[in-house]
Amino acid sequence: MAKKEVRDTDEYLTHIYVHVNEVEHFALFSGITVQQFIRNFSDLSALLLLKHCYDDASFNMHTQLEFIVPEQYNHFIKGYVEKPFELCFMDFEDERKLNMLTPQEQAELLYIAHKKEAIRSPFYHHLQNRFVYLTDEGEKITKIYFRDADDFDHLVANVFTQLIGEKSKSTAFWRKKNNIVLPRLSAEKVTAHNELFEDGVLMSLYKTDKSNYGIEIRILPENIFPDEVLEDLKLYMSKPADVLIEV
C-alpha cells in the first residue's frame, strides 16, 4: 500500500539508494559503507585487496596481490575511516587457492579493479568467493557483485537493523536494558520487494512512534545519476512513497 504522507527530510534517520542488476549479479548502492559491509560479513575467511591504500596487508607471491584476514578487519576499517581511498576487494577461502589462479584469471581480477566491471562472471571456483566489492574514495557509489541473492537481502536488512539498534539504544537511557526489544528488519521483507530494486529505489528510514520504525521506498526515474541521488534528496522526497515497509 502506497504511503501518501510526505514528511520533511529532517524526520528521516537515513537514506539508501539501491539498484539491482539481476542478470549480471550486482547491485549499486549509495549510503552503505565498507564498515557496514565488512561487519555484516565478518565471517569471510579473507579479503583479497585488488585496489587499496592499506599498509599492513599480507602479500601473495603468486598473484603479486595483497590480502587481509579476519584479525585485521577492524584495523583495516579504522584506517579506511580515517583516510578513505578507492577500494576493490573480494573474499576468498584459502591462500593456497590463490596460487591456483591462472594468468587469465589474474588478468580478469586486475580488469575488475580498474574498470569496475567484470569480463565474465567474477566468481571463481578456486577462490569460492561470495562477493566483489568496489567503491570510490567518497563512497558516493558502491558496486557489489553477489554470488547468492540472499546475501543482498541480508545485507540491506542488517544495515537498517543496525541503524535502528543504534538509534534505539541512544534513546533508551532511562529504560532498563532487559526491557528493550529492538525492532529488526527481516531479510524476508527485503526479498518481498526485490522486483522494485531492479528499477532503482530510494529507501528512507524513519521512526513511526516510540518503538516502531518504517522504511519508505520510492521508485526513481531511469535517467538519474546514482551517485547524485543522496545529494538531491529534497527532489526525490517531494513525492509520496510508493511502498512502506513496517519494522
Q: Kindly report, residue by residue over 162-204, the tens digit of the pLDDT.
A: 999 888 776 655 555 556 678 899 999 999 999 999 999 999 9
The mean pLDDT of 89-118, rounded to a whole number, is 96
pTM of the model: 0.92
Residue 47 in contact with residue 75, Cβ under 8 Å? no
Are 58 and 113 contained in the same domain?
yes
| Together in a domain, 54 and 77 | yes
Residue 155 belongs to some domain of the structure:
yes
Give domain status of residue 69, yes or no: yes
Mean pLDDT computed over every residue of the chain = 92
Domain end, chosen from 138, 166, 196, is at 138
Q: Which domain holds residue 46?
A: 34-138
b/e map 46-78, b = 16+ CB within 10 Å: bbbbbbbebeebeebeebebbbbeeebbeebbe
Q: Are strands 58-60 and 12-21 parallel, antiparallel or unpaired?
A: unpaired
Please tell me the predicted confidence (pLDDT) of residue 99.
Answer: 96
Q: Is 107 contained in some domain?
A: yes
Predicted local confidence at residue 3, as pLDDT: 47
Residue 27 in any domain: the answer is: no
Residue 178 lies inside a defined structural domain of this protein: yes
Rounded to an integer, what distance in angstroms lies between the CA atom of residue 46 and that of residue 31?
24
In this prediction, what percent of the chain has a pLDDT beyond 70?
93
Say how many domains are in the chain: 2
102 within domain boundaries: yes
Q: End of a domain among 138, 165, 186?
A: 138
Residue 219 has pLDDT above 70, yes or no: yes
Q: How far apart are CA 117 and CA 126, in angstroms?
A: 20
Question: What percent of the chain is predicted at pLDDT more than 90?
Answer: 83
Pair 155, 134 in one domain: no
Where a domain ends, among 138, 168, 186? Answer: 138
